[in-house]
Amino acid sequence: MDPRIAELLDIDLEDPEVQRENAAIDRDMRLIETLVSVRRQRGMTQADVAERMGRSQPAVSDFERLGGDPHLSTIRRYALAIGVDVHHVVSMPGEVGATSSTPTRIQVSGWEAETPQTSGTATIDLRRAGL
């Protein structure tokens, strides 16, 4: 976030919670940027993706515009339309100075064919940091 805007809004950019939120926003933006990059590398147009998603080209354009807040289902449909999988990782932030922390991890993979499938594989590995 621009420091001048943060100051106007009375947001403390040094606050750890604000930093975590900003980091999460950056990760979200990188995800969309990566998906768009893959689409372009594969030579697909927004119209191609729209057809595969069952949506309009302007809807795909809106999705690709940074600053939006797409639903997970839209991210999943877009990824499937361009032939990639998106994996989600849930991690528990450790305290400063903590020596070990094992994140909770959820990984789902499958649907690598060009046509939608009704089955796939899922791997779920849930571990908690020692108490």
Report whether 39 contacts 84 (CB < 8 A): no
Helix (H/G/I), strand (E/B), else coil: 98? coil
Report whether 37 contacts 55 (CB < 8 A): no
User: Where do the domains of the chain lie, and which CATH numbers do they carry?
Assistant: 1-84 (1.10.260.40), 87-131 (no CATH)
- Place 66 in a pLDDT band, splitting at 50, 70 and 90: confident
Query: Residue 51: pLDDT above 90?
Result: yes
At position 122, the amino acid (one-letter code) is A
Task: Give the model confidence (pLDDT) of 94-128 as tens digits.
Answer: 654 444 344 434 333 433 334 333 333 334 333 43
pLDDT, residue 94, reads 66
Higher pLDDT, 36 or 95: 36
pLDDT, residue 14, reads 80
Query: Residue 13: pLDDT above 60?
Result: yes
In this structure, of 12-16, 29-33, 41-45, 108-112, the range with the lowest mean pLDDT score is 108-112
Query: Residue 88: pLDDT above 70?
Result: yes
